[in-house]
Structure 1
Amino acid sequence: MKPVLPPDPATVLSTLALGAAGAGVAYGLGVPAPFLTGPAALVSAASVTGLVTRVPLALRDGCFLVIGLSMGTGINPEVLAAAASWPASLVALALALLVIFLGGAGALRRWIGFDLVTARLAAAPGHLSYVLSLSTETRADIATVSVVQTLRVLTLTLLVPLVVALMTDADLTMTARPGAPMALWHLVGLTLLAAGTGAVLKRRNVPAAFLLGGMLVSSVSHGTGVTPGIVPDWAAIPSFTIMGTLIGTRFSGVTAGMIARALGAALILSALALLATVAAALAMHAVLILPMTTLLIAYAPGGLETMAAISVMLEADPAFVAFHHAFRLFLLTFLVPAFLPRTEPET
């Protein structure tokens, strides 16, 4: 087996420069969540045109760590007390997932002509690495599943902030983040503890290990009042930008032809996901009187790390969002295999 070589430094620098340019343009134009959506859009476009784009694994983990720390700064006793109302919300999330998964798979079979297994794997609302591993054990079209899922995540990354802007009065410009920055020595201490926790979780093959490690450490320290304050902008904003850049690099090596074949499927799935998300959020907003911003981000089936970043940028309840996305991945672990045929279907 050939060893995995580190990315070329020039490739990394050009990729990060593109991401920074995308963030700057999006911020200047007033695009919602500019430091995430701008890099995602520009780097995706560059990758599709044939430019090789890469973000090193260590830099990716570092950005996940900072985003996790940022999520934990929103934890307080009032947030934890509100957790008693979450079971009803989890039921709403489960129902929305079923609608997206089964409804999306049916639409892909009927309107796009996918076979049963490819349609159901492509329609799975998240857990991409797990879905691709299932694809290798079936006769599914792995390339199609991968491109459709990647397009779905990109589309939701770009559209979720827009939907939040249309349905709420949240400030999506990121011109002023609430709260005073935490002391530098607090930040350094939390970072070291979170890095150690993330490394332990990664050795146990826990998904998004460094993001969860950062959130766990930060949640405990902020929930107990040991480390007040938010992650400073000089650390948070570059992390959001790298997160958006990372999303764009997923299109490296994907041709325009592959995207053209998968685009219709991705748009159908994204539209269905947004409809189900909005419906579930409206229902729970009426029943539980929770903020629409928090509900929309918690139910949107985008990537865990991406939705975590959006929750921090848009000041959603980080504990609520993180718990719901963790529950979504847990549910999909059992839901997707349950709806795959036991024998290879006829296509």
Structure 2
Amino acid sequence: MIDVLVAGGGPAGLAAAIHGALAGLEVVVVEPRTTPVDKACGEGVMPGGVAALRALGVEVTGRELRGIRYVDGATRAEASFRDHTGLGIRRTTLHSALHRRALDLGVRMLPGKIGEVRQNADTVTAAGTTARWLIAADGLHSPLRRSLGLELPNHPHGRYGLRRHYRVEPWTDFVEVHWSRHGEAYVTPVDDDLVGVAILSRRRRGYDEHLAAFPALTASLRGPAATEVRGAGPLRQRVRRRTAGRVLLVGDAAGYLDALTGEGIALALATAGAAIRSLAADRPEEYERAWTRLTCRHRLLTGALLAASRRPGTARLIVPAAFRMPPLFSAAVHALQ
């Protein structure tokens, strides 16, 4: 019998597997997709996430990011990261690096889906494998979360994300967040000749229609589109709790508020580590408290920005307010590092 079975081989699942292997646990990952896995993602890793990757021994390359810049027409506000840089990195590059590190540590990879989960007081069985614990890292719309009865109803008017890359030389080493009345566009340099543009909005329409709301940004995208549009959503996923017997939810499966502050990867790495530490200590009940503590600032700041952006009138005040109060904007960016 193995120690930990991980459902899902995305960043959260692979991070949990690496943490487990480093803790001396035997880990198996079940994932139906082939490596590398791509998905709609802003592709900016905050400094805390970069440090967490290095602590796991994961070697990644990309474009250094110095901070966050908000843009609304001619009004701009920016804040540099305090001590370290972030990283713009293609999702496929990040996934390959995590996958390689997990294999190097002896993590076994099984192709397939988890399917039905059976558990008792001491073990959990799924995908033909019995383990002491199961980590559900099967994504935003986690089938395991739903089957375990941990999902709560979501707001009917959720936000959605779309992403595409453009073959153009980056014009900044900041993550640029362009604001409009109906959403935001996130520009992340990911290579010397490639930028990713992710759009978040409550409105369901095509990528080009969304992009047209950002004429200044469109003028900067002189190069051709380099990838197809990928989408995700609705983004907000509400969860009753993050444990069910011998199953722990990690990453997006553990609940998701929004991608507005760009902390998804950093939080996935941090909460995956917390889950493994609680299992290694045989105290799974500690994970819920650890998850709440690790995500507290993200939930508060993201929730405040979402509330302000919900109405077009107040959404247009966000960038001018950040411009007029740079210490407050810097404090918010530093809190999210």
Tell which has more relative contact order, 1 or 2 (C-alpha 8 A, sep 6+): 1
Q: Report the TM-score, using the length of structure 1 for normalisation.
A: 0.29
Structure with the larger strand share = 2
Structure with the larger helix share = 1
